[in-house]
Amino acid sequence: MKISRTSSPQVPGSAGKAPSVSGTSGKGFASKLAAAQTKGVAKGALAAEKPAQARKNVAVSDIGADLKTGKLTPEAAIDKVIARILDQQVGRKAGAKVREKIGAALRESLTDDPLLAAKFRALTNE
């Protein structure tokens, strides 16, 4: 049995031509471009806010500097970092029991988490 292939019909006069686009004007494009630029400006403003959000993180560079100069022991540095985390996350006005419980959980994670435990050991061995 022989299977023959059918050919696709060709429309006369359309070979090699791109279909025409009707109804386009420069005004529509200009408005779309302006809208896109406005969105870009809004994204730029959002990107400018990110450093401000980064400042909301707990800053510990001064503790690291004191640790390097020998003003703080590694244990005292960890205590200061935990105190700053507690101040940032639960607030200074939080109850003593809440702060104590969360602080204990943070210290426990320093011993339970292999990565954090290795980092702490590296601090104490330097």
Q: Answer yes or no: is 1 within a domain.
A: no
Closest CA to 35 of 27, 24, 25, 45: 27
Q: Which domain holds residue 82?
A: 32-126
The owner of tokens 């601090």 is 123
Residues 55-100: tens digit of each pLDDT: 466 688 888 888 889 898 888 988 998 998 888 888 888 888 989 9
pTM of the model: 0.51
- 8 A C-beta contact, residue 88 and residue 46: no
Query: For 102-125, how does the pLDDT look when each residue is reduced to its tens digit (9 = 90+)?
Result: 999 999 988 899 998 888 888 877
The number of domains in the chain is 1
In a domain, 14, yes or no: no
Burial class (CB in 10 A: 0-12, 13-18, 19+), 63: buried
- Residue 8 within any structural domain of the chain: no
> Has residue 119 been placed in a domain?
yes
Instruction: Decide if pLDDT at 17 tops 80.
Output: no
Q: Does 16 reside within a domain?
A: no
Domain membership flag for residue 7: no
Is residue 46 in a domain?
yes
